[in-house]
Amino acid sequence: MQESDLTRRQRDVLRCLRAVAADSADPPTLDELCAALGLASRGSLHKHVQALVDAGLVEPLGQKQRGVRLRAFPDAAGRVLPMLGTIAAGRPIEAVTGQASVEVPAGLRSRRPCYVLEVRGDSMRDDGILDGDRVIVEQCERADDGAVVVALIDGTDATLKRIEQRRGEVMLHPANATMRPMRYAPERVVIQGVVVGLMRSYR
């Protein structure tokens, strides 16, 4: 079974396990998973966990530990992160999400929950972020000025830019001398993460 074949709730369980794994060495118990997912009982969780076990994505810890953990794959140097789709490095485009996953070396991610986006456009080329690159994004809602962020504009359009936050205004700066900064009222912009790593294929 592929991740794309999972139900929405099964993907929720998998994302929760990945988030916990990023922050803690201790896998969650079933009770902790229920609480994190807002489920009333283990019974409602069991069928989703069993589907992930059958898919080879997680493994039970045994009766004594009463929990589940992500399956350990042979490539110990990396960790699977969700590939959530594409991000515009140009003018904002409609946010596109997917359900794939990708192995990311540990040195390219942070200890907090992260995800991967594929870059479209060349507005960040002077910072070395090119069309077709994959950026590793630390999930967060705040960023320091100058950080390269995933910014969601008006709830629909996502873009990759350096952020500058002023009183009454948010500026999103491209790293391309042919393009001008974009200016928005603060309430129009939601930070969805900060870029912490980049991967590129030369094939």
User: Which residues are designated catalytic?
Assistant: 123, 161
Copy the structure tokens of residue 40. 């009333």
- Please, which residues have CB within 8 angstroms of residue 162's CB and are 6 or more apart in sequence? 127, 146, 147, 148, 149, 172, 173, 174, 175
Distance separating alpha carbons of residues 121 and 184, to the nearest angstrom: 21
**Residues paired with 78 in a beta bridge:** 105
Distance separating alpha carbons of residues 10 and 52, to the nearest angstrom: 7
CB 137 within 8 A of CB 114: yes
Calculate ∠ Cα 122-125-131, nearest 5°.
Answer: 45
